[in-house]
């Protein structure tokens, strides 16, 4: 799976900012996902921005005066060179539709089209692009709403809903209440391949009730087997359990909330894992650096605890 995070997009734009013509005086984003790179480009270029629909009405977004240049245009009719941006192109239908709507305006200005990510067969649909990203692919900003989700393992606590606190975990009545009323976080609109949770098998019914309440579709719900008697396992143990399930599937990616577990899953399954907590993609290629990060953070935590203990003595 070619997975790209928001951070990846930002880095790609910054590395390729030189491809953008310097005489651009208006950036237009194709709703919805095209607004993300369009906003970044408008900020980096210090130029006004609008979305395609508002652009077609002849209007641009108003902004504060702090960074506004004196030469900024006030309306679409004032523009001399417009940049129309989308996040990605696959079939090219969205960019073709955008071109048709812009052509219908009979503008006198120059219009340039670009996308951050394209497949090789779509490069001729734009004037320039930033990176070729082949299928199968998924993006952080829409992975919960893409067909690729059926080829993913997804954690529940910390991803689909809030993570229960230790105070809640140590009280069975409070924990059951949490499972019934857990606040949602990222609710998928496409079917999930495997929901893989550290919840015990005895909580399957209430878990299924919560999933049904939020219309979460899935192929399989994998809960901690009954033979696991430890009330609260360590991150490494949870990671090993999830990695075994991940390895037994044909899934491309695991969506995990806990960073330590994400690293352990990647280490054992030798497949990529996206960590929701810190928005990092852990893959076999960058695994060593992620392990080093955990060790470093662990040492920092130990030193902080030691200092606090010394102050008390």
* Confidence band, pLDDT 50/70/90 cuts, at residue 288: low
Strand 81-89 vs strand 110-118: parallel, antiparallel, or unpaired? parallel
For residue 304, is pLDDT > 90? Answer: no
| Predicted local confidence at residue 273, as pLDDT | 97
* Tokens standing for residue 287: 């695994």
Calculate what percentage of the chain has a pLDDT beyond 70: 88
In a domain, 54, yes or no: yes
43 and 155 housed in the same domain: no
For 61-84, what is the mean pLDDT? Answer: 84
Determine the Cα angle at 166 with ends 296 and 276, to 5°.
55
Domain that holds residue 226: 143-301
Looking up residue 182, the CATH number of its domain turns out to be: 3.40.50
Q: Which two tokens stand for residue 249?
A: 């599937």
Name the domain count of the chain: 2
Same domain for 13 and 117, yes or no, is yes
Q: Are 275 and 258 in contact (CB under 8 A)?
A: yes
Final residue of a domain: which of 85, 120, 139? 139
Q: What is the DSSP letter of 140?
A: T
15 and 133 part of one domain: yes
Tokens 């209440």 locate to: 177
Give, in order, the Cα–Cα distances in Å from 268 to each of 158, 230, 249, 264.
21, 21, 14, 6
Query: In sequence order, what are the residues at sequence separation of 6 or more whose Cβ sits closer than 8 angstroms to the Cβ of residue 111?
Result: 81, 82, 84, 102
Look at residue 112 and tell me if it is in a domain: yes
DSSP label of 71: T
Q: Does 201 have pLDDT greater than 80? A: yes
**Residue 113 pLDDT exceeds 80:** yes
Find the mean pLDDT for residues 24-44. 97
How many whole angstroms separate alpha carbon 183 and alpha carbon 160?
Answer: 9
In a domain, 306, yes or no: no
Higher-scoring residue by pLDDT: 225, 261: 261
Residues 63 and 79 in one domain: yes
Question: Residue 35 belongs to a domain with what CATH number?
Answer: 3.40.50.2020
Tell me, yes or no, whether 67 and 116 share the same domain: yes
Q: 122, 139, 156: which is the final residue of a domain?
A: 139
130 and 155 inside one domain:
no
Q: Is residue 240 part of a domain?
A: yes
Cα–Cα distance measured from residue 213 to residue 104, given in angstroms and rounded to the nearest whole number: 45
End-to-end CA distance of the chain: 53
Mean pLDDT calculated for residue range 92-120: 96
Task: Note the pLDDT tens digit of each residue in 150-171.
Answer: 999 999 999 999 999 999 999 9
């Amino acid at each position: 799976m070619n997975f790209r995070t928001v951070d990846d997009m930002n880095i790609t734009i910054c590395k390729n900012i030189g491809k953008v013509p310097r005489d651009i005086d208006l950036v237009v984003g194709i709703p919805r996902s095209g607004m993300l790179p369009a906003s970044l480009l408008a900020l980096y270029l210090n130029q006004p921005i609008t979305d395609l629909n508002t652009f077609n009405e002849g209007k641009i977004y108003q902004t504060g005066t702090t960074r506004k240049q004196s030469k900024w245009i006030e309306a679409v009719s004032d523009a001399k060179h417009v940049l129309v941006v989308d996040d990605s192109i696959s079939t090219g239908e969205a960019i073709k539709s955008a071109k048709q709507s812009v052509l219908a305006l009979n503008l006198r200005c120059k219009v340039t089209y670009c996308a951050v990510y394209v497949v090789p067969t779509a490069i001729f649909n734009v004037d320039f692009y930033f990176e070729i990203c082949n299928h199968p692919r998924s993006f952080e900003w829409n992975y919960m709403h893409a067909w690729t989700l059926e080829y993913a393992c997804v954690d529940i606590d910390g991803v689909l809903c809030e993570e229960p606190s230790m105070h809640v975990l140590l009280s069975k009545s409070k924990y059951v209440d949490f499972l019934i009323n857990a606040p949602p976080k990222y609710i998928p609109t496409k079917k999930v391949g495997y929901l893989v949770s550290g919840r015990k098998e005895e909580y399957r019914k209430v878990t299924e009730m919560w999933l049904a309440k939020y219309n979460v579709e899935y192929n399989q719900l994998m809960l901690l087997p009954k033979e696991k008697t430890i009330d609260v396992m360590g991150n490494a143990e949870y990671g090993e359990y999830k990695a075994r399930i991940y390895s037994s599937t044909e899934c491309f990616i695991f969506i995990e909330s806990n960073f330590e577990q994400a690293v352990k899953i990647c280490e054992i399954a030798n497949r990529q894992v996206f960590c929701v907590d810190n928005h990092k993609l852990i893959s076999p290629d960058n695994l060593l650096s992620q392990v080093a990060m955990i060790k470093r953070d662990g040492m920092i935590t130990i030193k902080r605890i030691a200092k606090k203990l010394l102050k008390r003595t």
